[in-house]
Chains A and B, each alone.
Chain A
Amino acid sequence: MQPATVRVWDPLVRIFHWSLAILFFFAFLTGDEWDKPHEIAGYIVGGLVVFRILWGLVGSRHARFSDFVYRPSTVIAFLKDSLRFRAGRYLGHNPAGGAMVIALLLAIAVICVTGYMMTLDAWWGVEWVEEVHEAAANTTLVLVGLHLLGVMLASFEHRENLVRAMFTGRKRTD
C-alpha cells in the first residue's frame, strides 16, 4: 500500500522552478552567441524572479519565505547535521534549501539587472557591467551544482525522491 502523501509544492512554484531551470541554462549557453533569444530568455527570467518574490510573500504555505528562511546559525547547524546524516526532515525547504532559494534569487536578479543595463546607451560597452554579469552567471552555475548535490543528499538521507516531488508537488506525510 502506498504511504499517505501531502501536497507541498503548488503548481505555480513548480512551473516557476522548471521554467527558470530551463531558461537559465538556455541563457547561459547562448550568451554572446545568439543574442536575441538570450535577451528574451533574460527578460522572461526577470519576470519569473519578480513573480517568485511576490509569491514568496502571498503564496501557498511552503512557497512563502516565512516558511523557509532561517537565521544563518540554523542553516550552518543544519548543514553540519546533514553531513553527519542526522539532519531532520522538512516538508518544505530545509534551512539550507531555503538559503539556496535566496542566494539564487539574488544572483539571478543581478544577472537580469546587469543584462538589462547592457542594452542601455549609458552602460553599453562599460566593462564592469559585463564582468559582473558574467561573474553572477558563473556564481549561479556553481550554486546550481551545490543545489543538485543538496537535493541528492536530502533525498538519500530521507529516502525520498525530491526531484519527483518538484514535478508532482507531493511528498510522503511522515
Chain B
Amino acid sequence: MSIKTATVFLAAVIALPTLTASAFASSDEASCGNAPRDTWMSEDAVRSHAAEKGYKVRNVKVEDGCYEIYAIDSEGRRVEAYLNPTTGDVVRTKLDD
C-alpha cells in the first residue's frame, strides 16, 4: 500500500476508539445519586458496609459519583464494586476474570 493509504489507515485505527470512547464511559451517577460530598458516609463506613456483604476490601476510591472498591468477594473472585455513597448499596460489580 502507498504511504498515503497507510497513513489514512493508521489515522482511522487511532480515531475509532477515540471517537467511541465516550460510549464506553460508565454512567453510574443515577444509581449513586447526586448527594453532595459532605453527606457521604466515610471511607471507613463504606469499608464496613462492604465487609458486611462478604467483601474483603483492598482499596477504596471515588469514581463517577460512587465509591469504588477493589475487593475479593465471598467466592474468592477479584471484583470492582461500585457503592452508593449515602446508602452503601452495591449498584454495580465488575469481575476481573
Contacts and interface: CB of A to CB of B under 8 A. Distances in A.
Contact of B21 (A21, A29, A35, A121): A29
B93 to A, nearest CB: 13
Nearest to A123: B58
A90 interface: no
A124 B18 contact: no
Interface of B: 3, 6, 10, 13-14, 17-18, 21, 24-26, 57-59, 69-72, 78, 94, 96
Size category of the binding interface on chain A: 20 to 34
Contacts of A26: 13, 17
Given A25-B14, A33-B21, A119-B96, A124 B3 contact: no
B96 A124 contact: yes
B24 A34 contact: yes
Interface of A: 18, 21-22, 25-26, 29-30, 33-35, 119, 121, 124-127, 161, 163-164, 167
- The majority secondary structure among interface residues of chain B is mixed
Nearest to B6: A167
A121 B96 CA distance: 10
B78 A124 contact: yes
Contacts of A164: 3
Contact of A29 (B10, B18, B57, B69): B18
B45 to A, nearest CB: 18
A163 to B, nearest CB: 7
Given A34-B24, A121-B78, A164-B3, A127 B59 contact: yes
A126 B21 contact: no
Top 3 A-B residue pairs of the complex, sorted by shortest distance between their CB atoms:
A125-B58, A125-B70, A125-B59
Contact of A124 (B13, B17, B58, B94): B58
A154 B54 CA distance: 59
A18 B7 CA distance: 11
Given A35-B94, A126-B59, A121 B18 contact: no
A33 B26 CA distance: 8
A162 to B, nearest CB: 11
Contacts of B72: 121, 124
B55 to A, nearest CB: 11
Contacts of B59: 125-127
Contacts of A21: 10
A118 to B, nearest CB: 8
18 contacts: A18-B10, A29-B21, A30-B17, A30-B21, A33-B21, A33-B25, A35-B96, A119-B78, A121-B72, A124-B58, A124-B72, A124-B78, A125-B58, A125-B71, A126-B58, A126-B59, A163-B3, A164-B3
